[in-house]
Structure 1
Amino acid sequence: MPSTILVGYSNLALYSAMAVFTIAMLLFAFHLAALGPVKVERSATKRERELVGAPTTTPLTPAPVGAETHSGECDSTPTEGVVGGDDLTASPRARKLAGVALSLSWLGTLVLIASVAMRGLAVMRPPWGNMFEFATAGAAATALAYCALARRRNWEWLGIFVIGPVLLTLGLALFAFYTEAAELLPALKSVWLVIHVIVAILAVGIFTIAFSVGVVYLIRRRREENPPEKPNFMETLPSSTQLERTAYGLNMVGFILWTFTLIAGAIWAQKAWSAYWTWDPKEVWTFVIWVVYAAYMHARATAGWEPRKAMGIALAGFACILVNFMVVNVFFVGLHSYSGLK
């Protein structure tokens, strides 16, 4: 029988993690607000002085014979506030807010992992046997992946775009998908529950971060093409080219993991139902997701395809993931009807 004490502690840890994530999300929002353009004085290149009409004369004293000259090198003429990630600096307040927000994100992630672990201990099985447990485990994987990447790559600017969806997922898990702790259905009692579902959770976590980066990329590119009169924190973020490459790399990792998920699911289906493929709604949508992301990979690698259009396919792939989780699991009846909501 499930341990009601551990289930209670698990739920308490989940509420605590949500409270910590809420504070972290607010601090990430304040961090972005504090990232408004800060004018810095730096040396202007000859090309920039030509663009603004500044004099481009050479020094009055002649250069020594044999000395090399480089027209693109900087001299001492100052210029201010050219919009761009390299020309804008974060204020001490913004850096402090980012550090505290990331620390709270780590705390919330660890508390959430503890909640997932206690749920598993309460029922003595892997804690992803229904939609509630999958949602909380997926949120934990997403938060952990973000915290690790943010610490290594200084991705504090992405925090609100990741912690926000994580918090929303936990809210849905508690108030829409909550299921009482119980034993597994016979078909789920397999080692493939660990292999297949863990990889699926990791894939969804990576896809979620890639989705967030993709949305930021589209906004950033639009602002680069139509520069605003009043720059804001968006102009302090990496360039659209860098964001697009980052999203592609994340989607590639997620796609590899999802491919393994699809193969592992087929192997598990053969062992459980004596058939690798049964056209079950869950199987079909898992394959649809794989096809959409495969189309994105192909479009991204095909010459002539605009990156923005390819990114649209990737975002459509994430929409398919949401449909697979929130629609197929609830409203479609099949061999994978393990949501716990019916």
Structure 2
Amino acid sequence: MAVTDEAITKIKEMLVSGQLKAGDRLPPENELSDQLGLSRSSLREAVKALELIRVLDVRRGDGTYVTSLEPGLLTETMGFMVEIHQETSAPELLEVRRILEPGAAAHAAGRMDARAVAALRSCLDDADPQGTALELAAHDFAFHSHIGRASGNPYLAGLLDSLTGSALRLRTWQRITEAGAAASVLEEHAAILEALTLGDAELVRSLMTVHVASAERWLRRTPAPRTVPAVPVSLPATVPVQQEQQVQPAPRPVAAVPAAALPVQAPAPVQAPAPAPVPEATREPTPAQTQAPVQPQIARIAREPALYELFAMPSTPGQKAARKPRRPA
């Protein structure tokens, strides 16, 4: 054990045994060092450490005193630890609060007198849903602190006060105000107050559990991205706005051209592949042949002239006569 740790242990033993009580003044440094068998430098280090955790109070020019040793004062050390670890341990700290605070609120339900209820109601009435995150965080601390003290357990009240540091509470309310949900959270406070007024311990326990779990969800929530407002771009005075909207010129209306001036053209016939050449002496062209061109399917199937005539020639009487081979003169 280090010499400083040994000095702290011996002073603690004096407090536990009753040799030193709350508010007592410690003996002079040289006398106390001889009594404890420690060097004066080791004693000074021990006194500094105990001053940090609010066990001793060093008053310059007057001496060193034992503090009141009240639970709320001693649990300030826990608050110091929470402030240091809030970035990495915030969910775990809120989990501890979710376990302890509903029980403390349930204890308060049966012990709150008219004065405590009036103080809690005044705290709630002073809260403004449109207030800043800093103002709402201060209200939140006061509201929960009132309930903790009303539980009648000062150790529990001091521990709950220290579990949510000021920065951690402020960050939670920043998420709430950014989402515009401050009014709904204050309504949860109002419901808890109503249950406390009725003295319903189980209802208070349930409402407080939901309320602390809601704060935990707000803390875990990703902050909303900040949008940069668009800078309006003004057009030059010489450029009309309508010119930018006209991407293409309006088409010329068809009704402006007289119908009589438009030439009437027959639709172009479908061009069929040219059939194999047939001697004109064998047959004469007929109107049906000129109007009904040979289908491309037949031209592809019957490439030979004889087969082409067999598939492609019409079957009218005049055409049948034209298909008969002529006898040589």
User: Which protein shows a greater Rg?
Assistant: 2
TM over 0.5: no
TM-score normalised by structure 1 residue count: 0.22
Output the TM-score relative to the length of structure 2: 0.22
